[in-house]
Protein backbone atom coordinates (compact mmCIF):
# COMPACT_ATOMS: atom_id res chain seq x y z
CA UNK A 1 0.00 0.00 0.00
CA UNK A 2 1.16 3.53 -0.81
CA UNK A 3 0.20 6.74 0.96
CA UNK A 4 0.10 9.87 -1.20
CA UNK A 5 0.32 13.21 0.62
CA UNK A 6 -0.40 16.56 -0.96
CA UNK A 7 0.10 19.89 0.86
CA UNK A 8 -1.45 23.24 0.02
CA UNK A 9 -1.82 26.62 1.74
CA UNK A 10 -4.61 29.15 1.50
CA UNK A 11 -5.31 32.51 3.09
CA UNK A 12 -7.34 31.92 6.27
CA UNK A 13 -10.20 33.99 4.82
CA UNK A 14 -10.97 31.41 2.10
CA UNK A 15 -10.15 28.26 4.08
CA UNK A 16 -13.75 27.29 4.89
CA UNK A 17 -14.74 27.66 1.25
CA UNK A 18 -11.71 25.66 0.09
CA UNK A 19 -12.42 22.90 2.62
CA UNK A 20 -15.95 22.64 1.23
CA UNK A 21 -14.58 22.52 -2.32
CA UNK A 22 -12.18 19.71 -1.42
CA UNK A 23 -14.98 17.70 0.18
CA UNK A 24 -17.29 18.28 -2.78
CA UNK A 25 -14.83 17.90 -5.68
CA UNK A 26 -11.45 16.41 -4.74
CA UNK A 27 -12.42 13.61 -2.36
CA UNK A 28 -15.00 12.12 -4.75
CA UNK A 29 -12.41 12.37 -7.55
CA UNK A 30 -9.91 10.33 -5.52
CA UNK A 31 -12.51 7.79 -4.43
CA UNK A 32 -13.74 7.21 -7.99
CA UNK A 33 -10.42 5.69 -9.06
CA UNK A 34 -10.14 1.90 -8.77
CA UNK A 35 -7.37 1.11 -6.32
CA UNK A 36 -8.00 4.10 -4.07
CA UNK A 37 -8.64 2.75 -0.59
CA UNK A 38 -9.21 5.97 1.31
CA UNK A 39 -8.88 9.73 1.04
CA UNK A 40 -9.03 12.34 3.77
CA UNK A 41 -8.33 16.06 4.06
CA UNK A 42 -6.66 17.50 7.15
CA UNK A 43 -6.65 21.20 8.02
CA UNK A 44 -4.49 23.32 10.31
CA UNK A 45 -5.04 27.03 10.83
CA UNK A 46 -1.87 28.98 11.54
CA UNK A 47 -2.58 32.68 11.95
CA UNK A 48 -3.68 34.09 8.61
CA UNK A 49 -2.62 30.95 6.71
CA UNK A 50 -4.41 27.59 6.57
CA UNK A 51 -2.60 24.37 5.67
CA UNK A 52 -4.35 21.48 3.98
CA UNK A 53 -3.06 17.92 3.69
CA UNK A 54 -4.81 15.47 1.42
CA UNK A 55 -3.80 11.97 2.44
CA UNK A 56 -4.85 9.08 0.25
CA UNK A 57 -4.17 5.35 0.41
CA UNK A 58 -3.64 3.34 -2.78
CA UNK A 59 -3.21 -0.35 -3.50
CA UNK A 60 -0.21 0.24 -5.78
CA UNK A 61 1.63 2.63 -8.10
CA UNK A 62 -0.58 1.72 -11.08
CA UNK A 63 -3.66 2.94 -9.22
CA UNK A 64 -1.93 6.25 -8.47
CA UNK A 65 -1.00 6.60 -12.14
CA UNK A 66 -4.67 6.11 -13.07
CA UNK A 67 -5.44 9.10 -10.85
CA UNK A 68 -2.45 11.37 -11.41
CA UNK A 69 -1.03 10.31 -14.79
CA UNK A 70 2.36 8.95 -15.74
CA UNK A 71 4.18 11.67 -13.81
CA UNK A 72 2.57 10.31 -10.67
CA UNK A 73 4.77 12.30 -8.27
CA UNK A 74 3.41 15.55 -9.69
CA UNK A 75 0.64 17.31 -7.82
CA UNK A 76 -2.79 17.18 -9.39
CA UNK A 77 -4.58 20.52 -9.42
CA UNK A 78 -8.11 21.58 -10.28
CA UNK A 79 -8.90 24.78 -12.21
CA UNK A 80 -10.66 26.11 -9.10
CA UNK A 81 -7.43 25.90 -7.09
CA UNK A 82 -6.22 29.16 -8.63
CA UNK A 83 -8.80 31.05 -6.56
CA UNK A 84 -7.59 29.58 -3.27
CA UNK A 85 -3.98 28.39 -3.15
CA UNK A 86 -1.07 30.67 -2.28
CA UNK A 87 1.34 28.58 -4.35
CA UNK A 88 1.34 25.38 -6.33
CA UNK A 89 3.72 22.89 -4.78
CA UNK A 90 4.86 20.82 -7.77
CA UNK A 91 5.21 17.42 -6.12
CA UNK A 92 3.49 15.20 -3.61
CA UNK A 93 5.10 12.74 -1.22
CA UNK A 94 4.65 8.99 -1.37
CA UNK A 95 5.27 6.61 1.51
CA UNK A 96 5.12 2.81 1.61
CA UNK A 97 2.93 1.60 4.44
CA UNK A 98 4.97 -0.68 6.69
CA UNK A 99 2.51 -0.96 9.58
CA UNK A 100 -1.14 -0.19 10.11
CA UNK A 101 -3.93 -0.95 12.56
CA UNK A 102 -7.61 -0.88 11.55
Asked whether the predicted pLDDT for residue 40 surpasses 90, the reply is: yes
pTM, entire model: 0.93
Residue extents of the structural domains in the chain: 11-87
pLDDT digits (tens, 9 = 90+) for 66-102: 999 999 999 999 999 999 999 999 999 999 999 988 7
Is residue 3 within 8 A of residue 56, CB to CB? The reply is: yes
Is residue 72 within 8 A of residue 56, CB to CB? The reply is: no
Phi-psi region of 81 (alpha: psi -120 to 50; beta: other; left: phi over 0): alpha
In this prediction, residue 55 has a pLDDT band, given cuts at 50, 70 and 90, of: very high
The CATH code for residues 11-87 is 3.30.70.100
Mean pLDDT of the chain: 97
Amino acid sequence: MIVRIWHGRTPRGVADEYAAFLARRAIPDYRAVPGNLEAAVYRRDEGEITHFLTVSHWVNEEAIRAFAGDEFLNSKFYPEDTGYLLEFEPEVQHYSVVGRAP
